[in-house]
DNA sequence: AAGTGGTCTAGACCACCGC
DNA sequence: CGGTGGTCTAGACCACTTC
């Protein structure tokens, strides 16, 4: 990298610089379970205080790149494993990370009254107006999933929606950035209509992911239900012990 | 609470005391989106330094109980939502949190040679010896899931296994505490044998969760495959945007 | 006993929000 | 502009691992 590698936006903080340096060191010259320099040594190496070193290590630890052993040291995490920590991604991002090119075919855009499921999920009074978008999602041109998204018209009305652009991007620019989502994953049996869209036999199993997305402040933004072909899609996530009460 | 409320083990750290205090305050007298006292005020209230306050707030934020807005304040999170963050749980814990009583019927315990799937998952050479445990998992006495667990005999050999006790507990006491797991969730169609065990129609959809568990240091401990009745079980998790590279 | 990470203090300045 | 959270410093002591 040249000398101006931090051209990303607001100028990097020190702990990000330290984390990036450690990341690079690991990638270039360290193996799993090798010990990192001690926090005191890292202070000297990067010319920062201990708290800044610890903040950098905390970040790397969240990423699964290192792990701490109290009283012993900080070590490089096992390879292969890791980096699959549950992350909120768009369909496009998800497919890209799996090595597919994503595309989609809009099947319907309409203004509807919220049914029981949608109303309960978005905490609306029954019958509230919602924008409904149904899309067939394709990976490398092949049917992968059917996605139904419901948004309160107060968040995004039908005229505002631009079919070409990313929905998440449109929400972000209109001040409704999705920050958090609760997801429920279940196995279902495909009915005739859905199996035809996904080009599989009726009665096949499929993975159904229901999602309620909210902003950083907790405002409910969308309810989405995505039905994936079971033979082409699996849901992966990493979990750790902890997360008290 | 009386004056000795911290009888749990090693004596609570200050930030845990502060976090507990804030948690109690929220539960007793605050509503979602109410502003917490500022960090400077909390310093005075609890008689600690700012960093300790921030550590407490960071913990509450992870738990989803509060959220920060830079330049504005720290606020109580939306209720209902939250607390479903992905956590590593045993079947028993999982069922308890859903309000069921868990039990199980051991179907088989044997020493087997690792097949391709197990060997690859646990990074063993093909044909290595493993302990295999198959159990039917019940919730309130009704079939809920079929669980197959494979452990290298070097981790747990068949004679050491005690059918009565929790497997995770036995692993913990023998120095192989499970800390992290990678899971893959897919939808499958039940074959005849599995549908009989789960007491559903052959050909029904089911949720299959495959898990590779490892210790804090990255040692691979177990490969487990659990097949849940789709009509009784859904997998829930919360995710947030973030988690860079 | 020496070295490590874990907690904690008492300051400081910066970036951002709302008035 | 004042108040808020975000970053950072230069120390200190504690708990744990290792020898």
pLDDT score of B149: 96
Residue among B84, B87, B185 whose CB faces A185 most closely:
B185
- Higher-pLDDT residue of B217 and A75 is A75
- pTM attached to this predicted model: 0.77
- Percent of chain A at pLDDT > 70 equals 89
pLDDT of residue B81: 47
pLDDT value of residue B8: 42
Lowest model confidence (mean pLDDT) among A37-41, A55-59, A179-183, B232-236 = A179-183
CB contact under 8 A, B88 and A230: no
The average pLDDT across A88-103 equals: 86
The answer on pLDDT for A3 being more than 90 is no
B35/C17 CA-to-C1' distance in Å: 14
pLDDT value of position A87: 65
**Cβ–Cβ contacts within 10 Å for residue B120, how many?**
13
CA distances from B43 to A26, B39, B189 (A): 38, 6, 57
The pLDDT value given to residue A94: 85
- When pLDDT is averaged across residues A52-64 and rounded to a whole number, the result is 92
pLDDT tens digits, residue range B133-175?
999 999 999 999 999 999 999 888 888 888 777 888 888 778 7
Q: DSSP readout, B54-75?
A: HHHHHHHHHTTSEEEETTTEEE
Position A110 pLDDT exceeds 90: yes
| Tokens matching residue A225 | 């239900």
Per CA to C1' distance, which residue is closest to D7?
A: A13
Whose CB is within 7 A of strand C?
A: A 10-11, 36, 38-41, 50-51, 54, 68-74; B 13-16, 47-52, 55, 69-72
Secondary structure letter of residue B34 according to DSSP:
P
Q: How much is the average pLDDT of A51-62?
A: 94
Which structural domains are found in chain A, ordered by start? Answer: 3-76 (1.10.10.10), 84-235 (3.40.1410.10)
Which parts of the protein come within 7 Å of strand D, by CB position?
A: A 13-16, 47-52, 55, 69-72; B 10, 36, 38-41, 50-51, 54, 68-74
At B1 the pLDDT is 39
CA-to-C1' distance for B17 and D11, Å? Answer: 24
Q: Say what the pLDDT of residue A241 is.
A: 64
Measured to protein CB atoms, the chain D nucleotides within 7 Å are 3-12, 15-18
- Kindly list the averaged pLDDT for each block of 10 residues, start to end, along chain B of length 245: 41 90 94 93 95 95 88 83 59 86 94 94 91 95 96 89 81 80 92 97 95 82 95 83 45
> Rounded to 5 degrees, what are φ and ψ at A43?
-55, -45
B219 to chain A: nearest residue by CA? A78
Instruction: Give yes or no for residue A14 having a pLDDT over 80.
Output: yes
Q: How many CB pairs under 8 A join A and B?
A: 164
Chain B hits for A236, CB-CB cut-off 8 Å, are 182-185
- C-alpha pair distances (Å), B125 with each of A245, B132, B175, B181, B218: 40, 17, 23, 21, 18
What is the pLDDT, as a whole number, of residue B243? 40
User: Distance from residue A72 (CA) to nucleotide C1 (C1'), in Å?
Assistant: 15
Quote the minimal CA–CA distance from B218 to chain A in Å: 6
pLDDT tens per residue, range B80-94: 544 455 567 788 888
Q: How many CA atoms lie within 13 A of A17 on its CB side?
A: 16
Residues in A closer than 8 angstroms to B181, CB to CB, are 238-240
**Average pLDDT of A218-231?**
92
């Amino acid at each position: 990298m040249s000398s101006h590698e931090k051209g990303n936006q607001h100028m990097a903080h020190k702990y990000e610089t330290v984390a990036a340096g450690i990341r690079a060191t690991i990638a270039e010259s360290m193996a799993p379970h090798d010990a990192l320099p001690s926090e005191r040594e890292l202070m000297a190496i990067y010319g920062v205080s201990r708290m800044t070193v610890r903040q950098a290590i905390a970040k790397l630890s969240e990423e699964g790149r290192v792990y701490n052993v109290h009283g012993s040291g900080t070590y490089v995490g096992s390879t292969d494993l890791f980096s699959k920590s549950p992350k909120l991604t768009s369909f496009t991002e998800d497919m890209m990370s799996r090595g597919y090119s994503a595309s989609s075919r809009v099947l319907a855009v309409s203004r509807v009254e919220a049914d029981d499921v949608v109303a309960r999920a978005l905490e609306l009074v029954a019958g509230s107006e919602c924008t409904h978008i149904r899309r067939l999602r394709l990976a490398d041109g092949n049917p992968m999933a059917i996605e139904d998204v419901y948004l309160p018209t107060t968040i995004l009305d039908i005229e505002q929606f631009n079919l070409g652009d990313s929905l998440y991007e449109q929400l972000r620019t209109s001040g409704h950035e999705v920050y958090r989502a609760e997801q429920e994953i279940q196995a279902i049996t495909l009915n005739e209509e859905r199996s035809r869209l996904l080009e599989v036999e009726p009665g096949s199993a499929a993975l159904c992911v229901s999602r309620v997305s909210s902003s950083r402040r907790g405002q409910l933004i969308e309810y989405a239900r995505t039905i994936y072909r079971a033979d082409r899609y699996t849901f992966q996530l990493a979990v750790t012990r902890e997360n008290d009460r």
